C-alpha cells in the first residue's frame, strides 16, 4: 500500500490575531507547508480543511474553496467539521485519499478565529460542540463537563488537583522553547493550584486558552516523494476515528473515552504497531484531565494510572514517554479547527529532529497524535513514524 509522507508543514504563531482574517491566517500556514514541500501548485489534487465556528466567528461558511484560493491552489476543497477534532478529520481524509491510490499530493489543515469575539460569545460558540437541547440549555459549558469527568475519575480511580497541576506545569515548561506557542512561560505546580477556580476541581490553569491560529501539512505518496526528490522522512502510518454518544448523560462512563480507544485501536492496527511502540505523544489536553483520559484511551496507561504520570515524571520531557512537547493545547493554545493538524505538524518536527524540543526524544521513531471533539464524542488518532 502507498506510504503517506509528510512533505511540508506550516503553522502560524498561536495566540491573538484578532486583526487578521481567517483566510490570511490559513494562507500563512499553507504557504509555509507548500514552500517546505516544494511540490508545484498544479500537482495538488485536493484540499482537506478543518474549521469549527467560522459561521459564528466570521459569518463565513463554505470555507473550502475560500482557503484553497488563499493557499494559491485550484484543487477541489472540502471543509470537515467535528468540533475540536475538525482538522484531525481533515488530515485523516487526506491520508485516506493517498492510501486509496486516488491522490498523490494533498494539502490538509485547519484554522480558527476566536479572539475577535468577546468571552461570552466565545463560550456560546464553543457550546455548539455540545448538545444544544440536552446539555447547553441545561447550563452545561465545557469547563463544567470536563469538571464532571474529572470528579468521576477521582471518585473511581483516585487522583488529586495536584496531579492535574503537574500536567499543566509540564506542558507550560514544554511551550517555553516553542516559538509558535501562545504562552511561553513556566507555570509552577503551586501557581496552577493557586489559580482561580473555574469549575471545581478544574481551575484556570487546568484550562486551555482562547486562541487564533492555523496549521497545514502537505501530504504526498512515497512514490511522488521519490520521483520528485522530496525529502519526507516522516510517514503517517496509521489513522483511526471513533465516536461516542453525543451527550455526556447518555454515556456509560464519564471517566473513560471509548471514542479515543476505538480511534487508537484502529490507528495502531493500521500502522501495525501497539501502544508499547509509541515513543512520544501529542494529546488533546483542552483541560488537564483530558490529557489523563487521552493517555488511558490511547492504551498508553492502564485505567486509573495516567493521573499521576506527569507528577511521577513519566510524561515530562525527560520522562520515558514525553507528552505534549509542543506545550499542548494548554500552553501552546487551542485554535479549535487548527489543533488536530497542528498536532501532526509538531509531531512531524519532533520526529524529524528540527523541533526545538526534539532533543528530548532523539531516538524517537513512533509518535501518536490524539485529537478529540466535544467531550470526546468524536476522536481522531494518527500514528507517525520515521522511515528509512
List of residues contacting its own copies (CB under 8 A): 21, 46-47, 52-53, 55-56, 58-62, 64-66, 68-69, 74-83, 89, 93, 96-97, 99-102, 124, 127-133, 136, 241-246, 250, 259, 262-263, 373-374, 377-378
At closest approach, how far in Å is the CB of 372 from its own copies?
11
The least distance separating its own copies from the CB of residue 347, rounded to whole angstroms, comes to 21
Residue whose entry in the numeric block shows the C-alpha cell 487521552: 294
- Say how far apart CA 76 and CA 97 lie, in whole Å: 13
Q: How far apart are CA 25 and CA 291, in angstroms?
A: 27
By C-beta, is 51 or 178 nearer to its own copies?
Answer: 51
In sign, the C-alpha dihedral spanning 348, 304, 266, 52 is: negative
Closest distance of CB 96 from its own copies, Å: 6
How far apart are CB 11 and its own copies at their closest, in Å?
A: 23
Can you state the angle between helices 336-352 and 86-99, rounded to 10 degrees? 60
State the minimum distance, in angstroms, from the CB of residue 313 to its own copies: 35
Residue whose CB is less far from its own copies, 70 or 230: 70
**Residues for the chain: how many in total?**
388
Q: If residue 172 lies in a helix (H) or strand (E), which one and from where to where? A: helix 161-175
Kindly report the backbone phi and psi dihedral angles of residue 86, in degrees, each rounded to the nearest multiple of 5, phi listed first.
Answer: -60, -50
Q: How far is the CB of 373 from its own copies (least distance, A)?
A: 6
Determine how many CB atoms are found less than 10 A away from the CB of residue 299.
17
Cβ distance 89 to 339 under 8 Å? Answer: no
Q: Using the minimum distance from each CB to its own copies, give the nearer residue, 50 or 322.
A: 50
CB of 363 to its own copies, least distance (A): 32
Q: Which of 320, 255, 344 is nearest to 292 (CA)?
A: 255
What span, in angstroms and rounded, lies between the C-alpha atoms of 126 and 131?
11
Q: How far is the CB of 82 from its own copies (least distance, A)?
A: 5
Q: At what angle do helices 258-271 and 288-297 cross, to 10 degrees?
A: 50
- 55 or 177: whose CB is closer to its own copies? 55
Q: Which is nearer to its own copies, 142 or 154 (CB)?
A: 142
**Does 84 qualify as catalytic in the annotation?**
yes
- Of 21 and 141, the one with the shorter C-beta distance to its own copies is 21
Of 4 and 192, which CB lies nearer to its own copies in the complex structure? 4
Round to whole Å and give the CA distance between 175 and 256. Answer: 27
Q: Is 334 a catalytic residue?
A: yes
Nearer to its own copies, 79 or 284 (CB): 79
Distance CA(29)–CA(107), nearest Å, equals: 11
Q: How far apart are CA 292 and CA 164, in angstroms?
A: 8
Q: Which of 84, 208, 286, 341 is catalytic?
A: 84
What letter would DSSP give residue 334?
A: -
Pairing, β 46-50 against β 105-112: parallel
**Catalytic one of 80, 203, 284, 334:** 334
d(C-alpha 141, C-alpha 243), whole Å: 20
Closest-CA residue to 96 (of 111, 84, 108, 79) = 108
The whole-angstrom separation of Cα 264 and Cα 298 is 5
Taking alpha carbons only, the member of 122, 49, 115, 127 closest to residue 81 is 49
Tell me whether strands 234-243 and 4-11 are parallel, antiparallel or unpaired.
Answer: antiparallel
Residues annotated as catalytic are 84, 334
Amino acid at each position: 500500500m502507498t506510504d503517506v509522507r509528510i512533505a511540508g508543514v506550516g503553522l502560524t504563531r498561536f495566540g491573538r490575531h484578532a486583526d487578521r482574517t481567517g483566510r490570511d491566517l490559513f494562507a500563512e500556514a499553507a504557504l509555509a507547508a507548500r514552500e517546505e514541500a516544494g511540490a508545484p501548485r498544479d500537482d495538488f489534487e485536493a484540499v482537506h480543511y478543518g474549521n469549527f465556528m467560522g459561521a459564528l466567528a466570521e459569518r463565513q461558511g463554505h470555507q473550502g474553496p475560500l482557503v484553497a484560493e488563499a493557499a494559491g491552489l485550484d484543487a477541489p476543497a472540502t471543509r470537515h467539521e467535528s468540533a475540536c477534532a475538525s482538522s484531525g478529520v481533515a488530515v485523516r481524509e487526506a491520508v485516506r485519499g493517498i492510501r486509496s491510490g486516488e491522490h498523490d499530493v494533498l494539502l490538509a489543515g485547519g484554522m480558527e478565529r476566536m479572539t475577535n469575539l468577546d468571552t461570552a460569545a466565545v463560550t456560546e460558540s464553543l457550546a455548539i460542540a455540545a448538545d444544544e437541547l440536552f446539555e447547553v440549555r441545561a447550563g452545561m459549558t465545557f469547563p463544567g463537563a470536563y469538571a464532571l469527568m474529572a470528579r468521576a475519575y477521582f471518585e473511581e480511580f483516585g487522583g488529586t488537583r495536584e496531579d492535574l497541576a503537574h500536567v499543566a506545569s509540564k506542558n507550560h515548561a514544554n511551550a517555553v522553547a516553542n516559538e509558535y506557542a501562545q504562552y511561553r512561560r513556566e507555570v509552577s505546580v503551586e501557581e496552577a493550584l493557586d489559580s482561580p477556580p473555574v469549575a471545581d476541581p478544574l481551575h484556570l490553569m487546568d484550562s486551555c486558552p482562547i486562541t487564533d491560529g492555523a496549521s497545514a501539512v502537505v501530504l504526498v505518496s512515497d512514490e511522488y516523494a521519490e520521483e520528485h526528490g522530496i525529502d519526507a522522512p516522516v510517514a503517517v502510518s496509521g489513522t483511526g476515528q471513533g465516536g461516542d454518544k453525543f451527550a455526556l448523560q447518555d454515556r456509560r462512563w464519564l471517566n473513560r473515552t471509548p471514542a479515543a480507544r476505538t480511534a487508537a485501536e484502529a490507528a495502531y492496527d493500521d500502522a501495525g504497531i501497539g501502544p508499547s511502540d509509541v515513543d512520544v505523544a501529542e494529546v488533546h489536553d483542552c483541560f488537564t484531565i483530558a490529557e489523563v483520559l487521552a493517555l488511558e484511551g490511547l492504551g498508553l496507561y492502564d485505567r486509573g494510572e495516567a493521573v499521576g504520570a506527569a507528577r511521577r515524571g513519566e510524561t515530562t520531557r525527560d520522562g520515558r514517554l514525553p507528552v505534549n512537547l509542543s506545550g499542548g493545547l494548554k500552553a501552546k493554545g487551542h485554535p479549535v479547527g487548527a489543533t488536530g493538524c497542528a498536532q501532526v505538524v509538531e509531531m512531524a518536527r519532533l520526529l524529524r529532529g528540527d523541533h526545538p524540543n526534539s532533543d528530548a526524544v532523539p531516538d524517537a521513531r513512533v509518535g501518536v497524535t490524539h485529537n478529540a471533539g466535544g467531550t470526546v464524542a468524536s476522536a481522531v488518532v494518527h500514528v507517525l513514524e520515521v522511515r528509512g
